[in-house]
Every structure is written in C-alpha cells, then in structure tokens.
Amino acid sequence: MNNTTQIKIGDFIKENKITMTVNQRGVNPFMNDSKFPMDHYRVCLQVITEGSHRQYTTYFSKGMGHNGAEPTTEEVLDCLASDSAGIENEGSFENWADGYGYEHDQKARKTYQACCRVSEKLIRLLGQDLYNTLLWNTERE
C-alpha cells in the first residue's frame, strides 16, 4: 500500500486479522475521576499471523447514552489511533498540552504519558508499518 491510499478502518481490521474480546467491568481504573456515568469494558485486541500472536489488553469506556452496547473493534482501534496520532503530531508534552488545551501540570502530564503508552503498545501490536497505515492512511470513524 502506498502512502496516498486510504483504507476504511473495517477493511484494515479484516485485512490484518485483528480480533477483539470484550468483558464488561464495573469500573475503569484509568477513569476514576469521570463526572459522567459510563459503561466500562476490558478489551483485548489480538493479531494472529503465522508464527505470531500479539495482543493488547486495555480498558475502554463509553457514555451511558450507548445503552450498554459493547464497543466495536472499529471504535476501540479508532480511539487508540486518535490518542496515538496526537502524540505523533505534537512531538512533546508542551506542544501536546497546548494543542489539546491542557495546563502544563502533573495531571496533564499523566494523561500525556498514558497516551504515549497507548502509542507504544499499539506499535507492539501492529508493527511500525501497520501502525503508520492505521494512523495516516485509514479512514477512521
């Protein structure tokens, strides 16, 4: 795939044999300060290819307006890609904080570091080439 070709996120998932399991949880340990009621899930993304099985397990939350509908693979991957693209685009904590309207404080730094970990784990799951395709050449929701 060249750098100008766009692929829909659903096709990206199918082509790369990405699967996901979902388990509902009562809480998301990373969102304990949310002021809004939410449904929380523990999701496990997997990529299984010949001789390789990689997975990424994380928490994912959806507003109660979704009426308990489980997250889709597209939703989760889109969210992770969005967090990662923000890290890739901004290049530093200061640029990231300014770009997203955060103060330069410890709480914002923790959020930035969490996004950095998402990016690193997504690279381990997909590999650098597929990670780049997801971020820059995939039509996400």
Q: What is the pLDDT of residues 47-80, one digit of tens each?
A: 988 888 999 999 999 987 888 899 999 999 999 9
Q: What's the pTM value of the predicted model, to 2 decimals?
A: 0.88
Q: How far is CA 80 from CA 42, 49, 60, 76, in A?
A: 14, 21, 10, 6
The answer to whether residue 43 is domain-embedded is yes
Structural domain contains residue 2? no
Q: Judge whether residue 18 has pLDDT over 90.
A: yes
Asked whether residue 116 is assigned to any structural domain, the reply reads yes
Going by pLDDT thresholds of 50, 70 and 90, the confidence category of residue 91 is confident
Query: What's the CA gap between 136 and 115, in Å, rounded?
Result: 17
Q: Cβ distance 114 to 84 under 8 Å?
A: no
> Is 26 or 80 the better-scoring residue by pLDDT?
80
pLDDT value at residue 28:
73
d(CA 140, CA 80): 11
Looking at the 3D structure of the chain, how many domains does it have?
A: 1
Q: Establish if 100 belongs to a structural domain.
A: yes
Domain assignment present for residue 1? The answer is: no
The residue range of the domain holding 68 is: 7-139
